[in-house]
Amino acid sequence: MFLSAPSPWIERWSQLFAAGGTVLDVACGTGRHVRWFAGLGHVVVGVDRAQEALDALADLRASSRVQLVRADIETGEWPLMAGDGPRAFDAVVVTNYLWRPLLSTLVRSLAPGGVLLYETFAHGNATVGRPSRPDFLLRPGELLQACSSLRVVAYEDGYCNNPDRFIQRIAAVRACADVTGADAAQAVPARYPLG
């Protein structure tokens, strides 16, 4: 199924992104979110293992705002390293993709104040279609657990129709600074608009 419009979940919560910030689109496919974020003035890095998917973005290769990386992130090394860890992004976006060993890398790829938007298939999807293998379906609460070090702004786990699917999605933010102890009680909380 070819999707061209951005996910409504991604559109809604992209308001949390820093203007002009760097966005990583993991398993970007034919680039519906790469195109959308580049159009909004973000610098976008799209990663996918399929050359034919990246070829669909050939018209963006000359853009200084878009970097396309072909990599098999399931069997190879994480392609976006900086120093001793993963390169930091202002936002990480993942839709319709799950590779559990990558979840901690994606969380570590967030810069301070960075936003993770994740939306994919969940337990129960086998009752309505594909994917149906447990390897490709999030377990109840799995994204919450993966994002336990982040501030969760929004989370949903349930059924959607048109098309029928079970999904889990999260919008979570890495704190700008570590505030602990007495300072935490006095800190003014960040304001994350709910829509």
Give the tokens for residue 33: 């979110």
From first to last of its 195 residues, what are the pLDDT tens digits of the chain? 456 899 999 999 999 998 999 999 999 999 999 999 999 999 999 999 999 999 999 999 888 899 999 999 999 899 999 988 899 999 999 999 999 999 999 999 999 999 999 999 999 999 999 999 999 999 999 999 999 999 999 999 999 998 899 999 999 999 986 555 556 555 666 777 777
Amino acid of residue 17: F
pLDDT at res. 179: 55
Q: What is the pTM of this model?
A: 0.91
Cis peptide leading into 189, omega within 30 of 0? no
Number of other residues whose CB lies within 10 A of the CB of residue 169: 23
> Quick one: CATH architecture of 20-177?
3-Layer(aba) Sandwich (3.40)
| Residue 1, pLDDT score | 44
In a 13 Å sphere around the CA of 63, the CA atoms on its Cβ side amount to 19
Output the pLDDT for position 181. Answer: 56
| Three state DSSP letters for 98-158 | CCHHHHHHHHHCEEEEEEEEEEEEECCHHHCCCCCCHHHCECCCHHHHHCCCCEEEEEEEE
pLDDT at 188: 64
- The full set of domain ranges for the chain reads 20-177
